[in-house]
Structure 1
Amino acid sequence: MLLTTPAALAQVDTVRATTLPPAQLAEKLYNSGVAKFNQKSYRAALQDFDRALAAKPDFAKAYYNRAAVRYELKDFQPAVQDYDQAIKLDPTTFGFYFGRAQAREALKQSAEAEQDYGKAAELKPDYAPAWYYHGALRFEKADYQGAKADFDAAIKADPTYAYAWHDRGSTQRQLDNLPAAIQDYTQALKLQPELLPALLNRAATRRRAGDLKGALQDYNEYLTKKQDNALAYTNRGSTRYEQGDYKGAAEDFSRAVALDAGYAFAWNNRAAAYLKLEDYKRAEADATKALGLNPQYAEAYLNRGHAREMLRLSDAACQDWRKAAELGLEIGNAHAANSGCGAE
């Protein structure tokens, strides 16, 4: 009987690499960082981008995305430094300049940010936000013609960009193109009905253009949606005042001071409304309140002078009118002269 020896079983060794090639590792860490960024896990994303750049120091996209993480963490100067590196490695990608512009703007480096937005727009003319932010910086430095050209370009690139229509409207208003401003605000509201600043600004523009009825409609619509804005009540009150609705004006000014007791302008405006309503004691009290908040408020001295004149406080009225003139309202001297105020 022949005995057969069992064949030995060969074991196949499985070799697993414990490290990836640097470029492949960097790409893997980069993708992990992007995923964590999208989940708003910024600190974890930052660690991944750090490791990706350690593996591949010339990885432009990793610098760009690490900069974006640092921006979200409000580490603006390190973000700028990362954008610098990205641009050094790849000076033709518009997003690198746009991102650096945002970080520089956060650092109040307006001139540098404007330059970067301009470069981003040059590299990608159909990217509306680059034109928009470039225009916003020009608007802030009162370069209204330049700002308008930028907002024109933003709207050409993206006709649905409501903010560009809105800000072009504000630029048109600064250029005294009131009908064009109203049209732009209207278009912004068509595109984004809840863009309430457009409603408020259209109201102010209509009022300035003499369309008090249209302005009042806009203020009414705004205040049905937002009741915590003292300025809106004050402006509607001023519109009502100009329409001769002094009672309605006083009510709006009252709402304004209820929201903001330190709003000297609203106190003085209510004083003016009370003067028209012949409620001179309240007018004097409101003007005095305004002066307590702003002792250099010439118009409040003028109004208090009128109230005191009607309250038969002649000497005090004369003092108020002279003070108004001293602060730049020459009409105060005229009132003093017409009321027979003697020289001090």
Structure 2
Amino acid sequence: MVNTPVTLSLEERLRAKARELGFVAVGIAPAADDPLRAQRLHEWLAAGFHGNMGWMEDRAEVRQGPQSMWPEAKSVIALGMSYAPDTDPLALEGDAERARISVYAQGRDYHDTVKKALKALARWLCEQEPAAQLKVFVDTAPVMEKPLGEAAGLGWQGKHTNMVSREHGNWLFLGAIYTTLELAPDAPHEDRCGSCTACQTACPTDAFPQTYRLDARRCISYLTIEHKGPIPEEFREAIGNRIYGCDDCLAVCPWNKFADSAARNRAFAPREDLVAPRLDELLALEDAGFRAKFSGSPIKRIGRNRFVRNCLIAAGNSGNAALTEQVAALTQDADEVVAEAARWALGKLPSSSEEGQ
């Protein structure tokens, strides 16, 4: 007797193909707009919590849901790639010679890696269903990936507003495919934060006015990446030696104990020179050197001036007199934001003679 092979559904084959392409989390959600998600977005914007990220406000009506962007969409395929770290992201806290770069930015630019895999999955899906129409997104369009990931069962938005997964902790890059196909949806993921408030209390700048609500204007990731002018002085000491992003609220989450760096996409393996970079070497970067060093890195997009501004804040917080001469030279920088940060840092640093007393 010959056993007839069981025919896999399109959804099952889709999951298998996604995992083959490097995604560790796959889920499906209906594309219909969610009025509650839309309401929360508009309340967040009305409170001004988006800071100077005007692009979030400019397309708010489109951002509020999949069908607001594309009325023909029927399903959303939500996907995640792991970037789980090997080491403690908080290990360099207070180091006077080293800077801290967010885990997500220590490897290759996730936009390129995730989008390439999304396009490959979209091509495969079109081969299976030639009549299907699709659009792919990875943090480059007005798409709310985290609420959609929750709706598709990938995890839930924690009290720090980031995606939390039972299998991968806080370390997922998210992408989405909108399609006109009507796919069988997965159940939304329930919230598993419980009474834990570790992420809230860990924030150095009190960026959470309440649970599940982030004031980006106080967030170190926003201040070091999105904010273009001088960093407000009230936050400078709290920034410590963080020069690009902040992992504190992510790193303290208890669900990270289930995350395994073996599941990390190899493209996101950290570069050795970015795991614990020396502040003196970073302060010496001119524009050409900056662009060469961060080619293929998400850090490149903020430019040399904003990056050196961040390094100067870290230098001022270091108490390391060995950096004084470099910082003093940068008070004459052609960029006034850099020069102002250097003047502030110089005022915080001891001179070499003071250190020897």
TM-score category of the 2 structures, normalised to the smaller one: under 0.3
Higher strand share: 2
Higher relative contact order (CA 8 A, sep 6+): 2
Higher helix share: 1
User: Which is higher, the Rg of structure 1 or of structure 2?
Assistant: 1
Q: TM-score, normalised by structure 1?
A: 0.28
Q: TM-score, normalised by structure 2?
A: 0.27
